[in-house]
Amino acid sequence: MSMRRGFALAETELRSFDRSDTAHCHVQKPDRYRLIEALPADVQRITRGSGVSYLGASFADNCVVQDLSAFDRLLAFDAERGLLTVEAGARIGDVVRFALGHGWLLPVAPGHPAASVGGCIAADVHGKNPARDGTFRAHVEAIELFDPTSGWLQLDRSHNAERFAACFAGFGIPGLIGKATLRLVQAPAGYSLRSVAVGGLCEAREVLLAHAGAPLLYGWHDGRVGRFGRGVIRFGLESKEPITRPPRLAADLPATIKPWPLCAWNSSGIAAMNRLIGHRYGPGQAHVTIESAMFPLNDARAYYAGFGAEGFVEAQWLLPHAGYAEFVGSLECEVARQRPRISLIASKLFDGTAQGFSFDGKGIALAIQFPQPKTRAQAAFIASLTELALLHGGRPNLIKDSSLQTDAAQRGIPDFAGCRERLRAFDPQHLQGSMLTRRLGL
Ligand SMILES: Cc1cc2nc3c(=O)[nH]c(=O)nc-3n(C[C@H](O)[C@H](O)[C@H](O)COP(=O)(O)OP(=O)(O)OC[C@H]3O[C@@H](n4cnc5c(N)ncnc54)[C@H](O)[C@@H]3O)c2cc1C
């Protein structure tokens, strides 16, 4: 550990959740505001929340990683209006549990309960039904942001409105978020969760559209040849009945998961896992607590460990409705031709408006997970998927897909250059940067 100008920097290696990105980093872990401010204004930096982005969004070599995990307090709660002010390092699972304990709900939460509020803003995450609830930006009232040259700034929809908007899917570029005020909604007693079997990804779209108003709505699908797209759409309706809390809730998914020595997701492993999913989440109905419905991945520790040390890639694309059926048909043909290993496909319905680099718009989002993405056959298929998605008007989720390169991102995000310019206007010296921003030239 080295000491520089009154604060400590640890030299450590950081690795992304999908294990694709790794860097030797200088990490500052401040536990008081004056230590955040103490970093000299000209130092290259990036803010880190909980570090549970799939890829290296919160670190890079040759810059200081400001790890905000110590800033995790819930600061103020207006129980009349459902307004909750938190420090940006507060974990979303803790926020959801606090809100539920007071009869309130944060409608948008990503699948990993450790994700921080700052990370959810900077990635503009989506939750269990983006078509109904939008993305994280819809539930944030105000932000307190630290700019290395100007100091602390108050941002909301009427003060510093452009910078406020830029924080969402800003990937840390507009500055360090110290605090945020979230707007909650009244919580139902629980959810009545149903699963409907679908024979393919086109049928999945029909079922998703038919349940667009449900508070929970997503699908899980098989990616194998001959069974491609088969799976279930799960939708949750608000339950008026009080739900008995199960005696044991699954512990939160850890921020880092030790990989198994070998990759378990070969063809027989994938077959077994799909059978298990079919058995556990097959057609039927269950009354569940909101917490367990919001974080089903708490049960998925073995799934992520099973990718082994080589990790995985999650490519997530939002396909407009018009090109969706043709895209799915072409993708299925390509799967039959190249026979890639796909461990799982997830589907969601979107009905928003794309802003900046946010993953939003109108259509169906498919998240496709690939074990051993660096082997030649897997990499070739991921490249074909990227081309097919772009050909059909797909929009990539920049903060998920570590295989994505600048050219594809530029083709997938209309006005990429303008979005980048608007973001960098708040960081003209390019002080903020991560492996993600460097790879995509943001
Ligand atoms: C298992 C799993 C499930 C997931 N499910 C979903 C999902 O359902 N929906 C979805 O949209 N995403 C999902 N994600 C992605 C994840 O929610 C986002 O990448 C989120 O940003 C992670 O939060 P974090 O605190 O770990 O951020 P980090 O990984 O630490 O950082 C992410 C970005 O936020 C910036 N940042 C973090 N904190 C601050 C701050 N205080 N001020 C300024 N910038 C900051 C970083 O610089 C970086 O650019 C999932 C990820 C995993 C691993």
DSSP 149-169: TTEEEEEESSSSHHHHHHTTT
What's the mean per-residue pLDDT of the chain? 95
- Same structural domain, 231 and 180: no
244-297, pLDDT tens digit by residue? Answer: 666 667 899 999 999 999 999 999 999 999 998 888 887 878 888 899 899 999
pLDDT, position 247: 60
- Same structural domain, 285 and 314: yes
Separation of alpha carbons 86 and 89, rounded Å = 8
Sole residue written with tokens 């507060």: 90
Taking the centre of ligand 1 as the mean of its atom positions, its distance from the CA of residue 160, in whole angstroms, is 23
164-220, pLDDT tens digit by residue? Answer: 999 999 999 999 999 999 999 999 988 999 999 999 999 999 999 999 999 999 999
Taking the centre of ligand 1 as the mean of its atom positions, its distance from the CA of residue 125, in whole angstroms, is 7
To the nearest 10 degrees (0 to 180), the angle between helices 321-338 and 201-210 is 150
36 close to ligand 1 (CB < 6 Angstrom): no
Confidence of residue 1 (pLDDT cuts 50, 70, 90): very low
Highest mean pLDDT range out of 5-9, 236-240, 410-414? 410-414
46 close to ligand 1 (CB < 6 Angstrom): yes
Domain total in the chain? 2
Q: How many CB atoms lie within 10 A of CB 237?
A: 16
Cα 159–Cα 164–Cα 165 angle in degrees, nearest 5? 125
- Residue 23 belongs to a domain: no
- Residue 400 belongs to a domain: yes
Pocket test residue of 47, 301, 343 for ligand 1, highest count of atoms within 8 A of CB: 47
- Same structural domain, 111 and 89: yes
Cα 91–Cα 93–Cα 97 angle in degrees, nearest 5? 120
Please, where are the H alpha helices in 241-365? Answer: 267-281, 290-294, 301-305, 321-338
The parent domain of residue 264 ranges over 191-412
- Residue 90 belongs to a domain: yes
What average pLDDT does this structure show over 125-138?
98
Residues 20, 50, 124, 416, CA torsion sign: negative
297 close to ligand 1 (CB < 6 Angstrom): yes
- Residue 54 belongs to a domain: no
- Residue 312 belongs to a domain: yes
Per-residue pLDDT for 354 more than 80?
yes
173 close to ligand 1 (CB < 6 Angstrom): no
Confidence of residue 3 (pLDDT cuts 50, 70, 90): very low
Cβ atoms of residues 236 and 216 within 8 Å: yes
DSSP secondary-structure letter at 252? P
pLDDT, position 212: 97
Taking the centre of ligand 1 as the mean of its atom positions, its distance from the CA of residue 115, in whole angstroms, is 6
Q: How far apart are the first and last CA of the chain?
A: 31
Taking the centre of ligand 1 as the mean of its atom positions, its distance from the CA of residue 343, in whole angstroms, is 22
- Same structural domain, 232 and 149: no
Taking the centre of ligand 1 as the mean of its atom positions, its distance from the CA of residue 52, in whole angstroms, is 6
Find residue 382's DSSP bridge partners. Answer: none
Q: What is the CATH number of the domain that holds 82?
A: 3.30.465.10
